Copies of this chain bind each other. A is one copy, B any other.
Amino acid sequence: MTNELVKNAAGRMVPVEINGKPAVPFMGVGKYHPQGNRYAPRIPSNMDYPADGNKLVPSLKEALIRAGLRDGMTISTHHHFREGDLVANMVFDCASELGIKNLCWFPSASFSCHAYLLKYLDDGTISHIEGSMNGPLGRYCSEGKMRKTAVLRSHGGRYQAIQDGDVKIDIAVIGAGCADAFGNANGVNGPSASGLLGFAVADAQYANQVIVVTDNLVPFPCIPWQIQGNYVDFTVKVDRVGIPEKIVSGTTEVTRSPDRLLIAEMTAQFCDVTGIIHDGFSFQAGAGGTALSVGNFFADIMRKKGIKARFARGGSNKYLVQMLEENLVEYILDGQTFDLEGVRSIRDNPRHVMTSPFTSYNYHSKGNFAGMVDVVILGATEVDLNFNANVVSHSDGYLLHGIGGWQNCLFGKTVILPVPLFRDRIPVIRDEVTTLCGPGELIDVIITERGIAINPLRTDLLEKVRGSGLPVKTLRQLKEEAEAICGIPQKPLFTDKIVAAIKWVDGTVIDVVKQVKSEK
């Protein structure tokens, strides 16, 4: 074990070892060349599985025992149930009952509903989390209470880490809205329908043992299967895998804030003026209220011009589904559905297509979809004067959000961050971001209610907006405007303890999060 730190290519001090395993410092975008071969799971044989394909076992606990659960293992779950997930909590209840300790939880993301697991972090059932943390678990981590270092990855980075063997999953537990006894599973049917199961695809492919848990068992074949039963060891029927009304939670309505609406409209205007919106273009907008509004403004422009988009990348929701059904969008390539309209659409519409982090985001593949998207609309908690951005921590230093697909989407052809100039009187544009998640060279445009800043690297965009009447400013100008209103913000105080590492899409360490110094 070493605590040695080195300065990475972004100027951040990062460890060369995390939880006793070597770590590669970030070398710059497209600079780290992976060596070696993908992780190769052991070769199974049909001779060790039921001849009739029926892999049902009576309970999750029994499945975990048969899967060989023991101290120190890495256990994965997915987050398609979002705030309605019941599976992860069940898994660690079983582990606790069995007296298992020191587990690494490797979720594709965690939510507030997983605050339930704090007791297992406290008592050592779970040693640490490798996965995006939203809310209470991130705060717990920021307070330095986790026994080991957390590791945060993008959706694509998580696929990369599994594929490359950076993380070896001992047992994957995959909750499914619909499954058959063989283990084929989808998220489109049943009372706990979550839309997709793409975040669990890598887990199924590479985990040593795979358990599918469902509350909606159907006779073989479960169609469609996004999880292939051929990767599955055990299936379990439980009463409920998710709470439906919380599965489709999240921001599902367009913003009503006049400032945010202005930002959204300016974003669409910018894309119109620069020719980004053209017949056959493609876009990705997130699920926040501003992003949803951007999509609506896009739709207005497309209707007016009589053009359509070749594809939109999801997260999908009722607005995007409407665009698909109105034929403003030819295809939705979806990663997760955010509401029931999204679930309905992906179930019934062949132009609404399931993707996974492998197809969409994995950087250690022969290309992925992210680079083919004409314009990507993303959020950020902070942006610095060099367009570097933060998406995981707040300016008070607390780790409160996951990376999601954010880093992966930075490879889109034009990346726009529509952000308010300040939040709760805290300016968003800073001299330095608290946590570096995305290098500025990949971020093209910052759009605020008081002006648009274009990355100087994008001379083409600067050229195109000339004379458009759009309020183009420098990031420095925008920062000064904010500080004139809110004052210069204080920096958060940290101890020296590294509580989390932030991975870049290629598995290198781009930054760390340190323990927040208590104000008490």
**Interface of A toward B, CB cutoff 8 Å:** 30-31, 33-47, 49-53, 55, 163-164, 182-183, 210, 219-221, 223-224, 228-233, 280, 310-311, 331, 333, 350-351, 353, 358-359, 362-369, 371-372, 411, 413, 506
Contact = CB atoms under 8 A, between A and B. Distances in A.
A222 to B, nearest CB: 10
B231 A366 contact: yes
A219 B374 CA distance: 14
A371 B45 CA distance: 13
A177 to B, nearest CB: 17
Given A52-B413, A183-B366, A219-B280, 4 more contacts: A34-B43, A223-B350, A223-B353, A230-B366
A24 to B, nearest CB: 13
Contacts of A233: 366
B40 A37 contact: yes
B219 A364 contact: no
Contacts of A39: 40
A364 B228 CA distance: 14
Nearest to A351: B223
14 contacts: A31-B47, A37-B42, A37-B43, A43-B164, A44-B366, A45-B363, A49-B366, A52-B372, A52-B413, A224-B353, A230-B358, A230-B367, A232-B366, A350-B350
A31 B333 CA distance: 44
The 3 closest A-B pairs by CB, nearest first: A40-B40, A37-B40, A49-B367
Given A228-B358, A359-B230, A44 B311 contact: no
Contacts of A364: 43-46
A182 to B, nearest CB: 6
A38 B40 contact: yes
A47 B367 CA distance: 8
Q: How many copies does the complex hold?
A: 2
Nearest to A163: B43
Contacts of A43: 34-38, 163-164, 364
Contacts of A359: 228-230
A448 B231 CA distance: 39
Nearest to A231: B366
A164 B229 CA distance: 19
Contact of A363 (B37, B46, B164): B46
A294 B50 CA distance: 29
Contacts of A331: 221, 223
Taking each of A39, A183, A221, A311, which has the highest tally of chain B beta carbons within 10 Å of its own beta carbon?
A221
Taking each of A182, A358, A362, which has the highest tally of chain B beta carbons within 10 Å of its own beta carbon?
A182
A33 B411 CA distance: 44
A371 B230 contact: no
Contact of A45 (B37, B38, B506): B506
A41 B38 contact: yes
B44 A231 contact: no
A165 B369 CA distance: 29
Given A37-B40, A46-B363, A230-B359, A372 B53 contact: yes
Contact of A52 (B229, B362, B371): B371
B367 A221 contact: no
A45 B367 CA distance: 7
B46 A365 contact: yes
A249 to B, nearest CB: 29
A187 to B, nearest CB: 16
B365 A230 contact: yes
Taking each of A50, A229, A506, which has the highest tally of chain B beta carbons within 10 Å of its own beta carbon?
A229
Contacts of A363: 45-46
Contacts of A221: 310-311, 331, 333, 353, 369
B230 A44 contact: no
Nearest to A413: B52
Given A219-B280, A365-B230, A41 B37 contact: yes
Nearest to A367: B49
